[in-house]
């Protein structure tokens, strides 16, 4: 059993859908800005690679701990309201970092941005779930899944163009503030029953095998993805000897091709199961990591593998988000399950940079390959785990 289709609109407000996706892109811009500004932050603030990874972990820590709680807040307070609140939180966090040269303050600013990111990534799919008709659900979720690579690619492109990391932080804050206003104008409020007299929300309802399997897979995917992309600019310079001028362009390209997988997932899921798609993606990402991190290939071939790693990985988020409707029976529970998935995603974002950053500091880039291959093997098991698919109520 799935969500009652009678609760869905008869037509899809695509203008509002694109605004919601844009909010996700801006949130990912705040995430990706640390990766492209990494060399500057290392030089100016004298940060180690592990400390740089810690900035990414701090950004994700609230999501790793509070994804399901955020889903509950979104269900109770209203998805549109929380989407706007998330955008303003990223503005506040970025503003806090502008006048500091102290690592603890920068960490605190990333925590505030992490709160905003969490609210946006939970509220976004929830808003889309009520704005799109049933026939458009897969397409809308495929578009939403593009927000992460699109935002990170935008960060990789604008970072070198703006030149100085504080300018990038300021530009990201302005973009989020403007978009908060656009959301208020373009995205309709939820019907009164969804924001007013809601049915009781029980967080314990999401701790069931099917939602947990989806969340575990999202965790492992995020760990692998951010194990590479949190350090891609540094990797391009150190491992692949790419000049500083080309780093941003190549990193943006590697991030952008992830959208190919996001969009392709909607088509491929009509021809193969989610389990088969996830298994193929995990195996491919693990094999690519060997060629990327180990000095067995030339720089050009290693970068091609970065593109393959990104594109194939993009198949996973869209397939997981489109599965939410299959394991829930109400929009309220859907918000909680999306929160659980984001909790898994953020935990992967938190663990990937820290574990891989510290491993590379101690043992060099081959240690990153070991982490990604081990994670891919575990993911092969989680995506093939077939718990009961009965929708939770």
What's the number of CA atoms in the CB half-sphere (13 Å) around residue 86? Answer: 33
| Terminal CA-CA length for the chain | 10
pTM to 2 decimal places: 0.78
What are 25's two structure tokens? 């892109």
| pLDDT tens sequence across 85-99 | 999 999 999 999 988
Sign of CA pseudo-dihedral 338, 343, 344, 345: positive
Angle in degrees, 0-180, between the axes of helices 315-322 and 209-229, rounded to the nearest 10 = 160
Looking at residue 307, its pLDDT comes to 94
Percent of the chain with pLDDT over 90: 28
Give the length of the chain. Answer: 393
292 within 8 A of 309, measured Cβ to Cβ: yes
Looking at residue 58, its pLDDT comes to 74
Share the mean pLDDT of the chain.
83
The closest of 54, 57, 28, 32 to 42, measured between CA atoms, is 54
What is the pLDDT confidence band of residue 60, given thresholds at 50, 70 and 90?
confident
Looking at residue 198, its pLDDT comes to 47
What is the pLDDT confidence band of residue 169, given thresholds at 50, 70 and 90?
very high
255 within 8 A of 149, measured Cβ to Cβ: yes
Q: Can you tell me the mean pLDDT for 60-80? A: 83
What is the pLDDT confidence band of residue 245, given thresholds at 50, 70 and 90?
low
CATH superfamily of 12-189+205-384: MFS general substrate transporter like domains (1.20.1250.20)
Own/partner long-range contacts of 359-362 (Cβ < 8 Å, ≥24 apart): 360/49, 360/231, 361/48, 361/49, 361/50
Looking at residue 321, its pLDDT comes to 84
Three-state SS at 328: strand
The closest of 203, 186, 206, 188 to 76, measured between CA atoms, is 203
Looking at residue 273, its pLDDT comes to 83
Q: Can you tell me the mean pLDDT for 122-148? A: 84
The closest of 217, 215, 216, 223 to 336, measured between CA atoms, is 215
For residue 168, pLDDT over 90 is answered with yes
Which range, of 14-28, 113-127, 212-226, 235-249, averages the lowest pLDDT?
235-249
66 within 8 A of 346, measured Cβ to Cβ: no
Q: Can you tell me the mean pLDDT for 181-190? A: 90
- Each domain of the chain, given as residue ranges in start order, spans 12-189+205-384
What are 338's two structure tokens? 């999306």
| pLDDT tens sequence across 340-379 | 898 898 888 778 877 888 888 888 888 889 999 999 999 9
Q: Can you tell me the mean pLDDT for 296-304? A: 86
Three-state SS at 392: strand
Looking at residue 201, its pLDDT comes to 57
322 within 8 A of 137, measured Cβ to Cβ: yes
Looking at residue 156, its pLDDT comes to 79
266 within 8 A of 320, measured Cβ to Cβ: no
For residue 112, pLDDT over 60 is answered with yes
Looking at residue 192, its pLDDT comes to 58
- Burial readout 300-319 (b: 16 or more C-beta within 10 A, e: otherwise): eebbebbbbbbbbbbbbbbb
CA distance 143 to 160: 27
| pLDDT tens sequence across 199-223 | 555 666 677 888 888 899 999 999 9
Distances (CA, A) of 353 to 32, 70, 309, 372: 12, 23, 17, 12
Q: Can you tell me the mean pLDDT for 242-252? A: 75
> 200 exposed, middle or buried (CB, 10 Å; 0-12, 13-18, 19+)?
exposed
Q: Can you tell me the mean pLDDT for 290-296? A: 88
């Amino acid at each position: 059993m799935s969500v009652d289709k009678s609760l869905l609109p008869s037509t899809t407000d695509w203008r509002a859908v694109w605004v919601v996706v844009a909010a996700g892109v801006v949130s990912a811009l705040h995430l990706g800005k640390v990766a492209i500004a990494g060399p500057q932050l290392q030089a100016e603030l004298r940060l180690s690679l592990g400390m740089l990874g810690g900035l990414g972990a701090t950004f994700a820590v609230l999501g790793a701990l509070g994804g399901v709680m955020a889903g509950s807040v979104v269900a109770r307070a209203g998805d549109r309201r929380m989407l706007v609140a998330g955008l303003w939180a990223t503005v506040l966090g970025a503003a806090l970092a502008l006048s500091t040269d102290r690592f603890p303050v920068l960490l605190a600013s990333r925590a505030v941005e992490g709160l905003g990111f969490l609210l946006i990534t939970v509220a976004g799919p929830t808003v889309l779930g009520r704005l799109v008709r049933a026939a458009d659900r897969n397409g809308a979720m495929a578009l939403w899944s593009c927000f992460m690579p699109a935002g990170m690619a935008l960060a990789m492109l604008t970072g070198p163009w703006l030149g100085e990391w504080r300018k990038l932080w300021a530009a990201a804050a302005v973009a989020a503030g403007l978009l908060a206003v656009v959301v208020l104008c373009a995205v309709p409020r939820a019907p009164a029953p969804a924001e007013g007299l809601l049915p009781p929300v029980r967080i314990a309802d999401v701790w069931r095998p099917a939602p947990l399997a989806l969340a575990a897979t999202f965790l492992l995917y995020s760990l692998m993805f951010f194990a590479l992309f949190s350090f891609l600019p540094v990797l391009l310079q150190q491992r692949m000897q790419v000049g500083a001028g080309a780093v941003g362009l190549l990193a943006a390209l590697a991030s952008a091709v992830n959208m190919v997988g996001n969009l392709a997932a909607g088509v491929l899921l009509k021809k193969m199961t989610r389990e088969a798609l996830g298994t193929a993606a995990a195996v491919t990402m693990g094999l690519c990591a060997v060629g990327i991190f180990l000095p067995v290939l030339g720089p050009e071939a290693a970068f091609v593998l970065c593109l393959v790693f990104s594109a194939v990985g993009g198949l996973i988020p869209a397939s997981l988000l489109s599965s939410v409707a299959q394991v829930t029976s109400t929009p309220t529970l859907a918000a909680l399950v999306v929160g659980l998935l984001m909790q898994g995603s953020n935990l992967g974002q938190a663990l990937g940079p820290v574990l891989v950053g510290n491993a590379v500091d101690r043992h060099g880039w081959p240690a990153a390959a070991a982490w990604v291959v081990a994670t891919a093997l575990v993911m092969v098991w989680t995506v093939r785990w077939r718990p009961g698919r009965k929708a939770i109520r």
